[in-house]
Amino acid sequence: MNEGLAPTTEAINKLIQEFNRLPGIGPKSAQRLTYYLLRAPEEQARLLAEAILSVKQKITLCSICFNVTESDPCLICRSNQRDWSKICIVEQPQDILALEHTRIYDGLYHVLHGAISPTEGVGADDIRIKELLKRLQGSSIDEVILATNPNLEGEATAMYLNKLILPLGIRLTRLARGLPFGTELEYADDVTLTRAIEGRQEF
């Protein structure tokens, strides 16, 4: 039984513990969610469980850009409406959602699935850098936009990518510094992101 919790059944404790594992969900929030589902109709709980399982069973990574998708390649990579001469490099799939919401960027993406962080034991080989270089070599890409997060890890990753991509002769730009240092791309508002994309600068 969880320390500090009132005596409850094993099933309730187990659900509280599982909610508590989720990012941003503390013990109190985990309890609230658990008791909300306990009071909710069984159908609502079933739909939630099915949605979670569906995500795990149906979602895969696009073999081209490594965004999350239900079909491979993803909708963006197979779209004829996109500008195939530009690739925007992001750290996580949710960063694409933020950029797409601005409706200002019409190129392709590449998801690294992380950033270089020696303190956390994440090196260049642990994220999708090799796949990016393979994609760029011999391609028709003429601009790479670095959209890593404006924090220490994102900056380290951008600097590393800069050294690798410059010899390929591809124009390298980065989002304008309208983004406050230390924030994450997915939390930036549309106006800030739009200005950052439109005002992107040579690296």
CATH code, 193? 3.40.1360.10
Three-state SS at 158: helix
Residue 20: band (very low, low, confident or very high) from pLDDT cuts 50, 70, 90 = very high
CA dihedral of residues 39, 43, 49, 55 (deg, nearest 10): -130
Residue 5 lies in a domain: no
Last residue of a domain, one of 40, 58, 76: 58
Question: Is the distance from CB of 106 to CB of 138 less than 8 angstroms?
Answer: no
Mean pLDDT of 57-74: 96
Domain membership of residue 141 (yes or no) is yes
195 vs 174 pLDDT, higher one: 174
Range of weakest confidence among 126-140, 151-165, 172-186: 172-186
Same domain, 45 and 89: no
Torsion of CA 121, 156, 160, 158, to 10 degrees: 130
41, 136: one domain: no
* The total number of structural domains that make up the chain: 2
Provide the pLDDT confidence category of residue 180 given band limits of 50, 70 and 90: low
Rounded to an integer, the average pLDDT of 68-72 is 95
Do 89 and 39 belong together in one domain?
A: no
Residue 177: per-residue pLDDT:
64
What is the reported pLDDT for 58? Answer: 95
Is this prediction's pTM over 0.75? yes
Task: Examine the domain organization and report whether 120 and 173 are in the same domain.
Answer: yes
Q: What is the pLDDT of residue 1?
A: 41
- 54/85 same-domain check: no
pLDDT recorded at residue 76:
97
| Lookup result for tokens 């936009």 | 145
165 and 131 in a single domain? The answer is yes
Same domain, 189 and 102: yes
Please check the confidence at residue 26 and state whether its pLDDT lies above 80.
yes
Which CA distances in Å does 153 have to 40, 184, 189?
A: 42, 11, 21
82 and 137 inside one domain: yes
Q: Is the pLDDT of residue 5 over 50?
A: no
